[in-house]
Amino acid sequence: MTKENVNIGTKAVWAGEKEVLVHGATQVPVVVSVAYNYDDMDEWYEVATGKKKGHIYGRNTNPTVQAFEDKVKILEGAEAATSFSTGMAAISNTLYTFLRPGDRIVSIKDTYGGTNKIFTEFLPQLNIEVALCETGNHEAIEKELEKGCKILYLETPTNPTVKITDIERMARKGKEAGAIVVVDNTFATPINQNPLELGADLVLHSATKFLGGHADALGGVVCGAKELIEPIYHYREINGATLDPWAAYQLLRGMKTLKLRVEQQQKNALAIAQFLEQEELVEAVYYPGLESHINHDIAKKQMKGFGGMLSFAVKGGMDAVRILLPNLQYANRAANLGAVETTYGPARTTSHVECTPEERAAVGIPEGLVRISAGIEDTADLIQDLQQAFAILKEQTVLVGK
C-alpha cells in the first residue's frame, strides 16, 4: 500500500500533516506567530526569495495553513493549492489573477449568489465581458466558448436547485477554446467529485461548508497545477485575503471526518428527497440522486455520490414556508450549508439574497423554494420531524380555508 493508492477517507484523516507536526505531537499545531526569526541573514534571504523552504510572514505562508492546503490538495489530486479567508476570496482572487480588461468569461446563470454578483456587478466595471448561459444547456455554453474566452467558470451541482453540468464535456470544449477551466466543487466535495480528473484546470471550494463541516470557521481554497496556483498565490499574498491559522486548524480538524459526514449527509438527503416527492403539499423536489432529476444521468456519470444538498418548492409559496420551517425541531434555519446539523433556508434569504425577485425568477428560483443541507442526524428522526411539520402545515391550511 503506497501513499498514492490509499483511499480518500484515509487520506482525509492523515494527509498533509506530517511536515508540520512538532515535539512528537499527533495533532497539527496552531502557529499564531505573525513572523519568523532568522539569526542567519543568508538563510533568511534564501527563504525570503523562495530558494529554501520556510516561513517569513503570516500574510504569505503559515505552517497550520499549509497543512490545511496540503490536505485539500491531496484529496483533490492536485499538484498545488492555496487558501483564502473565505470561499468568495478564493473565487474573486482566482478570477482577478487571470482576467484583464477586454477579456471574456463564460459561465452559467445560477452560480452561487456572490459569484453571480462578481459576474454581473464587478467584472463589467473592469470591461470584462461575461456570458452567462442557461445552466444545464451544454450547447449554449459550447456556442459561447467558440467566440473565445479566457475563463470557463462552472459550478456543479448548483445552488440551490442542484443542477448538474457535464464537467468532462465542458472542460474539453473549454480547453479547445484556450480557456482556463475552473470548477466550484463546494457542493460535491472531493469525496464525490474530482473535477481535475474530469479535465478541469482549477477546482475551488468554500471550505466554510462541507470541508470544515461544523459551521464555525470561514475559509476558501483553490487547487490545480503549480503554474496556475503560483500566480493566484502571489495575487493573494499581496492583496491580503489570507486564511487565519485558527480557522485553518478548525477546517483541518473538520476534514478528518469529511467522508463519514458526507456519507451520512447523502443518505439523509436521499431519504428526505424521497419523502418530499410523495408529500402532497410539495410541488417539486430537486435532488440529483432522484431518477426524476433532469440531470440524474450526468450526475451518475461524474459523481461518486449525490451529496447532501437538495431543495423543494412547497405549495402555497412563502406563506407555507413561514409555517413549515419554524415547526421543524431538528433544523437550523440559517444561511450556511454543509454543517453536521440539518439546515433549512429559503433561497430568497440564503443563496440568492443578493438578487431581486425578478433576478431569482429569471434563473428559475420560485420565491417559496427551500434549500436543505442534510446533516448527520439519524435518518428516521429527520423524516419524522418533516412529517410532524407538514401535519401542522396541513392543519393550519385547513383552518385558514385554503
Ligand X SMILES: *Cc1c(COP(=O)(O)O)cnc(C)c1O
- Shortest separation between residue 2's beta carbon and ligand X, angstroms: 33
CB nearest ligand X: which residue? 87
- Shortest separation between residue 6's beta carbon and ligand X, angstroms: 28
Kindly tell me which residue out of 68, 96, 98, 112 binds ligand X, with binding defined by CB under 6 A.
Answer: 112
For the sheet with 332-333, list strands across it.
282-286, 309-314, 369-373, 343-346, 332-333
**Residue 218 engages ligand X in binding (rule: CB under 6 A):** yes
**Residue 250 engages ligand X in binding (rule: CB under 6 A):** no
Q: Which of 324, 327, 340 is nearest to 373 (CA)?
A: 340
Q: For residue 35, what is the DSSP state?
A: B
Q: What is the b/e burial string over 129-162, where b = at least 16 CB atoms within 10 angstroms of the residue's CB?
A: bbbbbebbeeebbbebbeeebbbbbbbbbbbbbb
The stretch near ligand X (CB under 6 A) out of 41-49, 126-134, 181-189, 193-201 is 181-189
Give the angle subtended at the CA of 144 by the CAs of 138 and 150, to the nearest 5°. 115
- 8 Å CB contact between 107 and 98: no
**Residue 221 engages ligand X in binding (rule: CB under 6 A):** no
Site string for ligand X, 298-327 (x = CB under 6 A): ------------------------------
Burial class of residue 266, CB neighbours in 10 A (0-12, 13-18, 19+)? buried
Q: Which of 103, 110, 166, 184 is catalytic?
A: 184
Fill in the amino acid letter for 241: A
**Residue 165 engages ligand X in binding (rule: CB under 6 A):** no
Q: Which of 70, 96, 103, 112 is catalytic?
A: 112
Is 172 known to be catalytic?
no
**Residue 208 engages ligand X in binding (rule: CB under 6 A):** yes
- 8 Å CB contact between 65 and 245: yes
Kindly tell me which residue out of 31, 78, 109, 114 binds ligand X, with binding defined by CB under 6 A.
Answer: 114
- Cα separation, 221 vs 31, in Å, equals 19
**Residue 159 engages ligand X in binding (rule: CB under 6 A):** yes
Q: Which of 209, 259, 261, 371 is catalytic?
A: 209
**Residue 373 engages ligand X in binding (rule: CB under 6 A):** no
Q: Which of 38, 57, 59, 143 is catalytic?
A: 59
Is 59 known to be catalytic?
yes
- Cα separation, 62 vs 56, in Å, equals 8
- Shortest separation between residue 7's beta carbon and ligand X, angstroms: 26
Residue 250 φ then ψ, to 5°:
-65, -40
**Residue 209 engages ligand X in binding (rule: CB under 6 A):** yes
Number of residues binding to ligand X, judged by CB under 6 A: 15
Contacts of residue 157, defined as CB under 8 A and 6 or more positions apart, other chains included, come to 163, 164, 187, 188, 288, 299, 307, 309
Measured distance between the N- and C-terminal CA atoms of the chain, rounded to whole angstroms: 63
Binding to ligand X (CB under 6 A): which residues in 70-89?
86-88
The stretch near ligand X (CB under 6 A) out of 64-72, 204-212, 223-231, 311-319 is 204-212
**Residue 157 engages ligand X in binding (rule: CB under 6 A):** no
Q: For residue 32, what is the DSSP state?
A: -
| Residue closer to ligand X, measured from CB, 67 or 204 | 204
- Shortest separation between residue 187's beta carbon and ligand X, angstroms: 6
Kindly tell me which residue out of 66, 107, 165, 206 binds ligand X, with binding defined by CB under 6 A.
Answer: 206
| Residue closer to ligand X, measured from CB, 268 or 336 | 336
Fill in the amino acid letter for 201: D
For the chain, the maximum distance between any two Cα atoms, rounded to a whole number of angstroms, is 82
Site residues (CB under 6 A) for ligand X? 86-88, 112, 114, 155, 159, 184, 186-187, 206, 208-209, 218, 220
Catalytic positions, please? Answer: 59, 112, 184, 209
